[in-house]
């Protein structure tokens, strides 16, 4: 009974009635108004009641204005005009005072009449058949096919399809742009999706034509970006087309003049885009992609461009993918790559150039891996804590920042499921079952052994993220383009200088090893640390303590160079700095000469972030005069 009392009817207050009557020019006494108000309420209820039967007979759940008007008409009351719109009328309150009103926008009739975008006629009412076949027990059997009659395209759609495909694959770039834009925003072409997907799957037949491939990829992009399309299982098909562009040794890549690298980069970018926006549509997509990437990577028969594709693909999928697939695989892969890079025969020139591309791509990937890893450590921790990745690393490993981890499935789960497929052919890659997160320092050390100083450049910026005000970071670093992939932190990305950009985006400059003119003084200024190596195969530097499961072809040279030195934690502010004597030039290989300092945690008080930030970009860029920082506390022990 109590709840019945609460269920009151809507009531029209007598003030409203008085107001109405006044607007009609009639004065009403309070008493009269109250009576009228009550009667109005009753009549309203009555009309509502009888309007509900029109709703019921129209077999609807929603009472419409139309129903109400019918009820009024049948009780000989004038219908209310002006509310016949099909869509719901917004009912809004006014914040001040308890006033509610129906929004009644004014419509500019002139504009409406002269509008050029006349809405197209609604689709025709039609009947469509679905059959549920039941077996004897009443269980549903697989659905029959829909009769083709109801699925055929309308004339308009067919025309649209022809025009768009012709425009995109045709010669006119302007027309293409228009078509792509429309594809990106057209809400009525859902029926054409399978056809477009089919066209896109034609990448395999035009692998000789970079231009066409590019256009098809653009088409993919437009489709993916179209908010009105539900891609559904077509995602799989699109992904396979994109993967083809990333991984396959395209016919176009035979000619070194063809810039198929850019195509792969773009495709990888697209892959990550599809994956991040539509990855949830297909279950297991992430791991299928990872699997195929890993397969390519671990297949030594594949050309380097395929490997390159795999690396950029992994990079595009995020640092976790890199950590999971590329990193364990690196030691095995390195030997192959090294062999290529060390072959200086003329016949190998082209392959070597390709090898450098791969090298660069791997470098970029692992750099970001390190950075993001450090970031993921520092993010959950307090600033002070995060400043010490060396000590705090292990504790923070399990904590992953949500934005950086791939969305569809937890990694651990997949690691088990796919593990069996992932036994690297050579057994070189770390099997996924055994995969355990490598602590950051260990990882760093291992990677450092491959890449030397070129790695440390970028890593150093990671942990200081929190401390550096953005203004300080706006160093005139000539970053030409951001590296592809979901760069989670713009700051880190921005600080990634030239090298990254070179590797990824402008590969053409990159036919040979790093083109930087290494200042000869570098080697000299690192007394005892840097030695000229006669064999570049020994260009791997490792920390003494690191235990690497990979091959150790460079054994003897390893211990000669102490690479990094972690000073013991000091009392006072948790400063963390170490020096790196970079591996220096091999005589025949003129490139890869780096020096850097790795100081992930500048004590906030001891060093103004500004000076710190100032020197950062320069460190990797040996081409620039570096004298300014000679006196810096954080700089190398080299008189730069």
Residue 95 or 120 with smaller CB distance to another protein:
120
Stretch that binds another protein, among 120-128, 290-298, 449-457, 485-493 (CB under 8 A): 120-128
Distance CA 526, CA 545 (A): 22
Contact 554, 540 (CB under 8 A): yes
CB of 193 to another protein, least distance (A): 18
Q: Of these, 22, 26, 42, 300, which contacts another protein (CB under 8 A)?
A: 42
Considering only residues 29, 31, 57, 412, which one is a binding residue for another protein as defined by CB under 8 A?
57
Structure tokens at 370: 């390190």
Binders of another protein among residues 4 to 23 (CB under 8 A) are 4-5, 9
Task: Please identify, among the stretches 3-11, 221-229, 461-469, 580-588, the one whose residues bind another protein according to the rule CB under 8 A.
Answer: 3-11
Residue 375 contacts residue 319 (beta carbons within 8 Å): no
Choosing from 39, 413, 434, 478, the residue that interacts with another protein (CB under 8 A) is 39
In the numeric block, the tokens 């409203």 are attached to 16
* Residue 88 in the binding site for another protein (CB under 8 A): no
Q: Is 87 in the site for another protein (CB under 8 A)?
A: no
Using DSSP, state whether 455 is helix, strand or coil: helix
Which C-beta is closer to another protein: that of 95 or that of 128?
Answer: 128
Q: Does 172 bind another protein (CB under 8 A)?
A: no
Q: What's the min distance (Å) between Cβ of 24 and another protein?
A: 22
Q: What are phi and psi of 601, to 5 degrees?
A: -130, 85
Q: Which is nearer to another protein, 49 or 163 (CB)?
A: 49
**Angstrom distances, CA of residue 243 to CA of 234, 265, 327:** 14, 11, 21
User: Residue 246 to residues 6, 289, 437: CA-CA distances in angstroms?
Assistant: 66, 11, 28
Scanning the structure block, which residue is given the tokens 């700095």? 577
Among 58, 77, 395, 560, interactor with another protein by CB under 8 A: 58
Specify the stretch interacting with another protein by CB under 8 A; choose among 126-134, 279-287, 353-361, 484-492. 126-134
> Which residue is associated with the tokens 């006349």?
118
Q: In terms of CB distance, is 102 or 150 closer to another protein?
A: 150
Contact flag: residue 371 with another protein (CB under 8 A)? no
Residue whose tokens read 């920042």:
401
Write down the least CB distance from residue 286 to another protein, Å: 29
Cα 60 to Cα 298: distance, rounded to the nearest angstrom: 61
Q: Report if residue 120 touches another protein, rule: CB under 8 A.
A: no
Question: Does residue 126 belong to the site contacting another protein (CB under 8 A)?
Answer: yes
CB of 157 to another protein, least distance (A): 15
Q: Where are the alpha helices (DSSP H) in 468-627?
A: 470-473, 490-495, 498-504, 520-524, 555-558, 609-620
Spatial contact of 483 and 316, defined as CB atoms under 8 Å apart: no
Interface residue with another protein, options 13, 19, 30, 60 (CB under 8 A): 60
Tokens read off for 501:
């950009």
Q: Which of 82, 97, 136, 572 binds another protein (CB under 8 A)?
A: 136
127 binds another protein (CB under 8 A): yes
* CA–CA distance, 6 with 26 (Å, rounded to integer): 35
- For the record, the structure tokens of 365 come out as 């990937």
Q: Whole-angstrom Cα distance, residue 295 to residue 290?
A: 8
Applying CB under 8 A, the span of 67-75, 338-346, 379-387, 450-458 interacting with another protein comes to 67-75
Q: Which is nearer to another protein, 9 or 100 (CB)?
A: 9
The verdict on 148 binding another protein (CB under 8 A) reads no
Virtual CA dihedral for 416, 418, 423, 424, nearest 10 degrees?
-130
Nearer Cβ to another protein, position 60 or 383?
A: 60
The answer to the question of residue 173 lying near another protein (CB under 8 A) is no
Residue 71 or 501: the one with the smaller Cβ distance to another protein is: 71
Cβ atoms of residues 456 and 592 within 8 Å: no
What's the closest the beta carbon of residue 55 comes to another protein, in angstroms? 10
In the list 96, 98, 106, 124, the residue contacting another protein (rule: CB under 8 A) is 124
Q: Each residue of 40-77: b (16+ CB within 10 Å) or e? A: beeeeeebeebbeebbeeeeeeebbbbbbbbbbeeeee
145 near another protein, judged by CB under 8 A: no
Q: Give the residue with the Cβ less far from another protein, 19 or 134.
A: 134
If one asks whether residue 68 binds another protein (CB under 8 A), the answer comes out as no
Q: Which of 22, 45, 177, 395 contacts another protein by CB under 8 A?
A: 45
Number of other residues whose CB lies within 10 A of the CB of residue 612: 20
Helix 193-200 vs helix 210-225: crossing angle, to nearest 10: 150
Q: How far is the CB of 41 from another protein (least distance, A)?
A: 8
Are the CB atoms for 65 and 81 separated by under 8 Å?
no
Question: Can residue 132 be called a binding residue for another protein (CB under 8 A)?
Answer: yes
* Element at 333 (helix H, strand E): helix 327-342
Q: Mark 444-455 as b/e (b = at least 16 C-beta within 10 Å).
A: bbbbbbbbbbbb
The residue (of 144 and 549) whose beta carbon lies closer to another protein is: 144
Residue span binding another protein (CB under 8 A) among the ranges 69-77, 197-205, 247-255, 490-498: 69-77
597 with 455: CB under 8 angstroms? no
Q: What angle, 0 to 180 degrees and rounded to 10, lies between the N-to-C axes of helices 327-342 and 440-451?
A: 10
Q: Go through the chain and tell me how many residues it has.
A: 640
Q: Is 54 in the site for another protein (CB under 8 A)?
A: yes
Among 31, 59, 155, 436, binds another protein (CB under 8 A): 59
118 is a site residue for another protein (CB under 8 A): no
**What distance in Å separates the CA atoms of residue 439 and residue 449, rounded to the nearest whole number?**
15
Return the structure tokens found at 420. Answer: 């069996």
| Residue 85 sits in the site that holds another protein (CB under 8 A) | no
Q: Which stretch binds another protein (CB under 8 A): 50-58, 339-347, 509-517, 518-526?
A: 50-58
Q: Which of 88, 123, 301, 631 binds another protein (CB under 8 A)?
A: 123
Q: With binding defined as CB under 8 A, does residue 154 bind another protein? A: no
For residues 61 and 81, what is the distance between their CA atoms, to the nearest angstrom? 23
Q: How many residues lie near another protein (CB under 8 A)?
A: 41
Tell whether residue 56 is a contact of another protein (CB under 8 A): yes
Q: How far is the CB of 28 from another protein (least distance, A)?
A: 17
* Chain residues that interact with another protein, rule: CB under 8 A: 1, 4-5, 9, 38-39, 41-42, 45-46, 49, 53-54, 56-61, 66, 70, 74-75, 86, 122-134, 136-138, 140
């Amino acid at each position: 009974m109590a709840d019945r009392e609460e269920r009151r009817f809507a009531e029209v207050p007598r003030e409203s009635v008085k107001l109405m009557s006044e607007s009609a020019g009639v004065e009403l006494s309070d008493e009269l108004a109250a009576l009228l108000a009550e009667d109005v309420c009753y009549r309203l209820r009555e009309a509502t009641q009888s309007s509900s039967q029109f709703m019921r007979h129209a077999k609807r759940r929603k009472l419409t204005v139309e129903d109400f008007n019918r009820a009024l008409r049948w009780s000989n009351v004038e219908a209310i005009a002006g509310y016949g719109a099909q869509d719901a009328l917004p009912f809004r309150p006014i914040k001040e005072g308890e006033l509610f009103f129906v929004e009644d926008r004014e419509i500019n009739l002139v504009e409406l009449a002269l509008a050029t975008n006349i809405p197209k006629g609604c689709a025709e009412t039609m009947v469509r058949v679905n059959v549920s076949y039941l077996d004897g027990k009443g269980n549903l059997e697989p659905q029959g096919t829909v009769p083709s009659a109801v699925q055929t395209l309308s004339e308009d759609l067919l025309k649209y399809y022809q025009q768009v495909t012709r425009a995109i694959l045709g010669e006119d770039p302007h027309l293409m742009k228009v078509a792509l834009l429309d594809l990106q925003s057209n809400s009525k072409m859902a029926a054409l999706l399978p056809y477009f997907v089919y066209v896109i799957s034609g990448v395999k037949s035009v692998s000789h034509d970079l231009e066409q491939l590019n256009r098809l990829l653009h088409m993919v992009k437009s489709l993916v970006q179209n908010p009105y399309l539900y891609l559904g299982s077509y995602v799989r098909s699109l992904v396979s087309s994109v993967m083809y562009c990333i991984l396959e040794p395209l016919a176009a890549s035979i000619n070194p003049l063809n810039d198929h690298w850019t195509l792969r980069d773009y495709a990888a970018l697209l892959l990550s885009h599809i994956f991040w926006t539509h990855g949830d549509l297909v279950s297991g997509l992430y791991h299928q992609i990872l699997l195929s990437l890993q397969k390519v990577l671990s297949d030594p028969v594949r050309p380097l461009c395929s490997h390159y594709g795999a690396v950029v693909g992994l990079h595009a999928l995020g640092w976790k993918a890199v950590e999971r697939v590329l990193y364990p695989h690196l030691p095995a892969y390195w030997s192959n790559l090294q062999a290529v890079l060390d072959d200086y025969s003329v016949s190998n020139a082209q392959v070597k150039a390709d090898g450098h591309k791969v090298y660069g791509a791997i470098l970029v990937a692992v750099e970001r891996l390190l950075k993001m890893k450090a970031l993921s450590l520092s993010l959950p921790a307090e600033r002070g804590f995060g400043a010490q990745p060396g000590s705090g690393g292990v504790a923070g490993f399990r904590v992953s920042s949500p934005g950086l981890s791939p969305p569809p499935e937890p990694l651990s789960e997949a690691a088990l499921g796919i593990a069996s497929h992932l036994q690297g052919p050579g057994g070189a890659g770390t099997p996924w079952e055994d995969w355990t997160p490598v602590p950051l320092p260990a990882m760093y050390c291992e990677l450092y052994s491959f890449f030397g100083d070129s790695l440390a450049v970028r890593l150093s910026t990671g942990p200081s993220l929190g401390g550096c005000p953005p203004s300080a970071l706006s160093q005139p670093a000539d970053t030409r383009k951001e590296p592809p992939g979901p760069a989670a932190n713009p700051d880190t990305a921005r600080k990634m200088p030239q090298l990254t950009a070179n590797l990824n985006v402008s590969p053409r400059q990159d036919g040979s090893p790093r083109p930087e003119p290494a200042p000869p003084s570098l080697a000299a200024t690192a007394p005892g640390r840097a030695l000229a190596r006669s064999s570049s195969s020994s260009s791997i530097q490792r920390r003494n303590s690191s235990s690497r499961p990979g091959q150790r072809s460079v054994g003897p040279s390893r211990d000669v160079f102490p690479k990094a030195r972690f000073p013991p934690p000091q009392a006072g502010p948790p400063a963390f700095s170490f020096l790196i004597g970079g591996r220096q030039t091999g005589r025949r290989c003129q490139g890869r000469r780096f020096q850097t300092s790795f100081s992930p945690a500048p004590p906030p008080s001891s060093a103004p972030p500004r000076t710190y930030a100032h020197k950062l970009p320069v460190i990797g860029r040996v081409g620039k005069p570096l004298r300014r920082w000679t006196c810096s506390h954080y700089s190398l022990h080299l008189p730069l």
